Structure 1
Amino acid sequence: MKENYEVTSRRIEITGLVEVLQEIIEDGSKVPFSKKVLVDRDEVVNILDEIVQVIPEDLRTAQWVLAEKDRILTEAKTEYERTKAEVDRMMQEKVNNHDIVKEATIKAQEILNKAQTEAKLVKLSARDYADSLLSDLDAEIKERNQQMMVNFKNLFEGFVQEYNKSFHTTSTTIKDNIKELREMK
């Protein structure tokens, strides 16, 4: 439960940092006659540094989960090998006692089945966690990209309208000047 809270907290932190970055871009001074915006380089670099510091933590968590899966699989295999060797020894000692051999075989199979089930659960959990994390990150990136594209489109449309208005005003002034010149005698 605590890990889920930490992962959610980091996602919220990343989202917040991306939103702050977007606000900096939206609030930046617009460069006339271009789509460019002036922003405080240090402020943007600091936010990007924070994002870079948060993302690796999620990757380390995913790597830890995968390492734990490998460790559990190794332990399960070792336990299986140890149990199998124990069963073999018991079979040698009790070759004449068929019930004990059957019981040991059943016990070894139960341990093997349990170990395989646990290993499979750990592997599936690790895969699901990594898949969820990457899917969430992909969705977040797509959403932010879409928002940025809308912002860029709105910015460009505003620039075009302002340019068209300025052009129309200039054109009207020129026409008025031409008319005034022609009317001079």
Structure 2
Amino acid sequence: MSGEQGALPPEYRSPQAEALLRQAIELIEQARPMPLSASSMISKDEVLAVLQAAAQALPEELRAARWLLKERQDFLARVQAEGDQIIATARSQAEQMVQRTELVKMAEERARSIVADAEEQARHLKLETEDWCDQKLGAMQVVLERTMTTVASGRARLQGAERREAEPAPAPTEPETPEGFFDQDD
């Protein structure tokens, strides 16, 4: 396994110091006890070699741990920045949609107002036009009534003249004279 560990970058290797410390613990646990004592007999050189190797491995592992912590912090900062950007973009889009909605509402309200004004103007113009037409037709009616009266009286005059022409003119009558008045010749 240590051959595989050498091929990996230091930041991905399992901690050597921990393994070495466990090895030192095993050496102490497996040490032969001293008779009539709580002490054990251990190989000083062997334990010192393991502890020195662990001490040498600690700085490398601490660097790797610091590197992992920094990478973690960088990753969290990137993710936080991306999250903040996504939220900002979503808020911006939501604001734009609200503004568009508000613009649409304002445009619709303005359109309704324009249509209402146009309908009011059309109604007003229609009433004015109807009043004007009624006045003109009334004036024309008066003129036509006068014209009809004039035509009727003209026709009546003509009909009166025609009747007089159609009636035979009375024959000139000779004044009646008494018969014997101018009777001198007899």
Classify the TM-score, shorter chain: 0.3 to 0.5
TM-score normalised by length of structure 2: 0.44
TM-score normalised by length of structure 1: 0.45
- Tell me which of the two structures has the higher relative contact order, counting C-alpha pairs closer than 8 angstroms and 6 or more residues apart: 1
